[in-house]
Structure 1
Amino acid sequence: MKRLLSLLLALASFATLQAAADAPGLVNGNPPDIKTLKTGDKAPDFELLGTDGKMHKLAEYTGGEALVVLFTSNHCPTSHSIERRLQKFYEEYKGKGMKLVAINPNHPDGLSKDELGYGEFGDSYAEMKPYSEKNHWTFDYLYDGETQKIAREYGCLATPHVFVFDKNLKLCYKGRFDDSRYYDDATVKSKDCQNAVDEILAGKTVTLAETKPMGCSTKWREKKFLHDAKHDAWAKTPVTVEPIDKAGIAKLRANTTNKYRIINVWATWCTPCVQEFPDLVEISRKFDMRDFELVTISMDKPEDKAKAEAFLFKQSAGMSKKVEASLKKEGRTTNSYLFAGSADDLAAALDKDMPGPIPHTIVVAPGGEIVYRHNGIINRDDTANAILDKMNRFYSPGTGKK
């Protein structure tokens, strides 16, 4: 059985590599018909649906001295980093003759599950309004994800990606919003978009007309092919359950790594455990590109080890390559365990406040502090948001929170 699973995993990995090489409809990560706007080019027209449920045209944003067209997204940590700065910039300049409109260029199919680990929102139209409201944005936020036609016409390579036009709608600047990918305003050394607007408002030629956009690549719909292959590979990853004792659990709880651990106590005979398990797997995939791992501790009888392994495999709970590599550094070979000791020993080693029933879930920060606990069936969104509150929704220099 294990030999068959290993063969399936190898074939899945090969398929993933082939997908990366043969992604249909993309050249170097972008559609072949994507355009490149040059200084002096006219702003391409558009008619897009806004978070207010209305259609908006380019003409609505004319009549000022400068127009900022900003491509941004709900999911991207670099976009998250400029959320406050963007609103502050708009409030300061909207009365000075500047117009601003934000556009989401991404299609949800263009996102892999592990690209959603920096926030509670994906890039669908439905998620744009709550995301905008959370940020207290007062400018229009439009959706181009369905066709991605406007992203192609502007040459949107990433989110965020800024295009600044003069009163004649001629391109004067394109590139990054500013030179920091971090949330802390003190890390900004060059306010590139603002500088361009200042020069336009002063009637000057923009000194720095182009910078490289810094952020998350545009999530073209064509990328679904790649992500499906990755998700299929995850689903075919073998699972090995190993026995663990009280000392082993205490070591996991101590968590001397830089990772956050979500540790779940479960059993195949536990109906609520089985019911919640897909959500645990989704959480682990969501945070897979971050310093994070899912650890499961089965309370099944030792003779039911194969049954536990079969269940975990069916749930696609196998470790990703990233998690597997991190375990090797610790001298571990699995994240799936079976504990045959007493409930008292389990609570003493894992969580003294564990009330007894399973499922029981805790999130352990680096250093061993329990930062979240829940007894019973978890709510996936609540649990993920609790993790995000601790890990951050954006890049932070020098903190390990990334």
Structure 2
Amino acid sequence: MSVTKVITNVKAQAIAAKKAAKKLGLLTTDEKNEALHIIADELVKSANMILTANEQDLQAGQEKGYDEAFMDRLALSLERIEDFAEGLRQVAALEDPIGKIQSSWTLENGLLVEKVTVPLGVIGMIYEARPNVTVDAAGLALKSGNAIVLKGGSSALSSNKAIVQIMHEALKKTKISEDAVQFIESIDREATQQLYTMKEHIDVLIPRGGSSLINAVVNNATVPVLETGVGNCHLFIDKEADLEKALNILINAKTDRPAVCNALETMIIHKEWLRKNHEVLHAAFKQYGITIHGDEDARSFLPDAILANEDDWANEYLSLDLAVKVVGNVEEAIDHIETYGTKHSEAIVTENRETAKIFMSLVDASALYHNASTRFTDGGALGFGAEIGISTQKLHARGPMGLPALTTVKFMMSGNGQTR
């Protein structure tokens, strides 16, 4: 397909989405919720169609030599389909943020001022690998009164096309136009680049994927960007950490799903705690097949560890590899996180409340945990029903982005002929 043809098609889809967004703003909460339930039911009914398409993507991925972490993000199962369908039902059960009066006041001249929550309009979503993002993003967009233009990666093209086809068929049974969910099938780079610059049709871009994708969008887009981030997540085990808590949190954060962005990538450990508990820790690493990349202090207690280099401290492994840094106090741990962290999710295990307070107050991240796993940085786990991404920036939205992150405000004034 020619570049001109690709650009024309993307523009037409964005224009159609904008028209659909206008109509979405007139729908009731019940009408939007009904649509989400119908989509969820149809996705489960058509699970075989989705799995057949996903198998095509998995086979292509194997032929291209994608690594295990990437294949895990790409793979679907009946359980995962049921999970994202249930996520839609949970979103339907959430309070509708649209039309809420955040604050109001009356001026001396009698003019009523109301600050009201409204949709963003049209969301452009650029993402890689995970087909579940197609469902989560569409569901959150529709519930918050937004249309969405989806641009998934080529690796999940068959899966995404099947999912969107089912969603379109479901929307025919609702009051929401099919045009409210657009999917760009073209794998040409021009299609993605076109989304970057359509300020007149796209209100916000959300990139979700690896650092190269996110940086490309942030550095090149003229459309406002809600920036998500990669997850070089740290766990600091303090000298006053409970052994059982520390081991349970470590194993969960590292091994539950190593290929996701809230998985643990670096363990920072107090030297005194390591000296007392290194044998138990070493046994846990062997049991769960965790490969250690440690500094000299770590290797003196963990003989199987590979000597870490500078790249290891910044690496998002997305595997069962783990960097281990040994420190003498919480301040050293915080300094290491400040140098190498990605402002995603950071955790401390300690029974000392003052140490925990210092860590929680000074570490700059979108999600912080005291005596709990980083794996909870997830819209579903935190009660959002689903998430459209995890924002590591500080403006507008931060952390897992659910319905409120996809809204903005209008100031609406009502008077009786007042003039200034």
TM-score range, shorter chain: 0.3 to 0.5
What is the TM-score with the length of structure 2 in the denominator? 0.33
Higher helix share: 2
What is the TM-score with the length of structure 1 in the denominator? 0.34
